Structure 1
């Protein structure tokens, strides 16, 4: 079944799924009974074109932002695995829908997949704020270990209860691009306007004396260009893809230490996933997990590449060390960590599970 079918011939899958997500009332279409619990296999098998949306610049299977390449690799491999039963359309640069709107669309079944910065969804799903908690995750190994630890199980359960299924765990380290002197110690942010990337990062920066901005990463360039931002923290890959070296005089790189590790997974609508046959579900899960080493390798490469690209452009590049990290962690514990834990007993338990992963 094509995703561009007209209302005169059939109900679109997205309208149908959206309605089912909003109401528990069963629907009947062509003699087939459908309920909010899922689609019967006969209908699911007919819906072969799925859409993947993300905010990052587009490219090809072999060139460009690795997050876009990951989506394209996923699409190609699942299509091959299912012998063409599932096909995909990839929409980069928020060309299908606005960045923040993607999560709600995913939850309702109006969007099939998104590669999405976890903290962007913290307002809808509070547990997602753990995906960018300053100084909580300080290495790729630590972040990726979440998946098979109690914190990963708890986070997965919480997201699936809200209609979101993680297929590929991707962590990214981040650095700080600044229009002026390097942002290294907490004292360096006093009096400047900085983009942190999450509510919790912003709390840490506010406590250090900064003003904050909550814009998505694809709007940082314009913010720095107009002077509305003095500095911005984002992933090494975004620092490259959005060409922020053109607006920067200094870079705090993530190649050694970083207070900014973000979970940015490829996620699928659970409504859509549950409506697919078991064999197709297995293909999605298998391919999704198989791409995690690719995500790790490319994120690490970009931590090195960003420093080289910025240095070549004449930007001053500095690195964090353990002493600097300790300074930031002390602030993060008293602000962002405390705020999250104080929300509820469940939130405190989740944070403790995350802290337990060394």
Structure 2
């Protein structure tokens, strides 16, 4: 038996063993900024687990806690094929694609069901066309909501922020709140607690998850949660590099698509549950709870039409058409 034949036979055995054990499965890298306890990590893990269970030689390796790329630096490597997947607040990439700023715009989404309808609308199809130009594809749609917290009276309508120093989540929210007479102080979510504690801030506008994880109930007197009606919604989908997806086998694509559809339904339910958990934590801490009404929401949207919306439409090519498409979704 020749040495060449032995080498070939050994390689064949190794290949067979690899196929049997899944050692040579296609491996995709998924990066995100959150901890393993966060709902967004759990969405990614659900997709990874279901794909692994499908037995299609596809593995998704998750890198949480910004261990692979920094929070706001996921989109560029994704679009270049240096990263396979991410779960990511799309407005973070508003610098590369200004149209994405519409996915964090006051008054565009009223509640979680409305957000789901927006995700399935022609507006989102247009956003996905822009993504496709960057070689990016959506797997899981999802919005997370937020609210207001204040030490200067409850905030439900525009008049409530007159003269209040507030931290807002996103440029468009800053523009709208400034239009209502608020003083804007920009900072990271992680700095809000100490700013409230020292009196630098009177109020904050951020996600339900941040209100809870940063224990802001220890510093606030009134909380306006995301309930039946809310003002702050941020689109945070699970994305994949389009070329990476296209290069998968038909069976792998099907498994990934099916797992993503299941995770999307779970994401919606968990987003609503997360709002309720945060509200209960604030109530249990003795913080006053103030609900935003549909009339309050309409008042904020009218203010946004005078502030945030014209700013967006005037700075983004085709921005008014995109805005009109989003606003047309009931």
TM-score range, shorter chain: 0.7 to 0.9
The Cα RMSD (Å) is 2.4
Contact 1:56 1:218 in 2 (8 A): no
For residues 204 and 193 of structure 1, the distance between their equivalents in structure 2, rounded to whole angstroms, comes to 14
Q: 1:247/1:278 Cα in 2 relative to 1: closer, same or farther (>3 Å)?
A: farther
Question: How far off is 1:218 after superposition?
Answer: 5.1
Aligned residue for 1:308?
A: 280
> Normalising by structure 1, what TM-score?
0.78
Report the 3-state secondary structure (helix = DSSP H, G, I; strand = E; otherwise coil) of the residue aligned with 1:319.
coil
For 2:224, what is the secondary structure of its paired residue?
strand
Partner of 1:324: 296
1:96-132 deviations in Å (ceiling 9; x for gaps): 3321112222222222222211222211111211111
Q: Deviations over 1:48-86 (max 9, x none)?
A: 332322233323xxxxx3222111111111122244x22
Contact 1:51/1:91 (CA < 8 Å) preserved in 2?
yes
Corresponding residue to 2:46 among 73, 87, 99 = 73
Q: How far did 1:317 drift? A: 1.5
From 13, 30, 33, the counterpart of 1:52: 30
CA deviation after TM superposition for structure 1 residue 352, in Å = 1.3
* Structure 2: gaps of 5 or more residues: 1-22
Partner of 2:90: 118
SS, match of residue 119 in structure 2 = helix
Contact 2:41 2:64 (8 Å CA) reproduced = yes
- Greater helix content: 2
CA–CA distance in 2 between the matches of 1:237 and 1:52? 21
Shift of 1:47: 6.9
Q: Which has the larger radius of gyration?
A: 2
Tell me the CA shift for residue 221 of structure 1: 4.2
Residue 93, structure 1, aligned to residue 61, structure 2 = no
* Superposed displacement of residue 145, structure 1: 1.5
Deviation at residue 179 of structure 1 after TM alignment: 4.6
Deviating beyond 6 angstroms after TM superposition, the runs of 4 or more aligned structure 1 residues are none
Superposition map of 1:1-358 within 5 A: 48-59=26-37, 65-83=38-56, 85-217=57-189, 220-221=192-193, 223-224=195-196, 228-344=200-316, 346-358=318-330
Contact 1:57–1:241 (Cα < 8 Å) also in 2: no
List per-residue Cα deviations over 1:17-71 (Å, max 9, x = no partner).
Answer: xxxxxxxxxxxxxxxxxxxxxxxxxxxx967332322233323xxxxx3222111
Deviation string 1:172-204 (CA, Å, 9 cap, x unpaired) is: 221113354332222332344433222211111
Aligned pair count reads: 308
Pairwise CA distance, 1:259 = 1.1
2-structure distance, mates of 1:126, 1:289: 27
**Structure 1 residues 109, 215: closer, same or farther in 2, change over 3 A?**
farther
Flag structure 1 segments of 5+ consecutive residues without an equivalent. Answer: 1-44, 60-64
Contact 1:52 1:111 survives alignment (8 Å): yes
Which stretch has the larger CA shift, 331-340 or 189-198?
Answer: 189-198
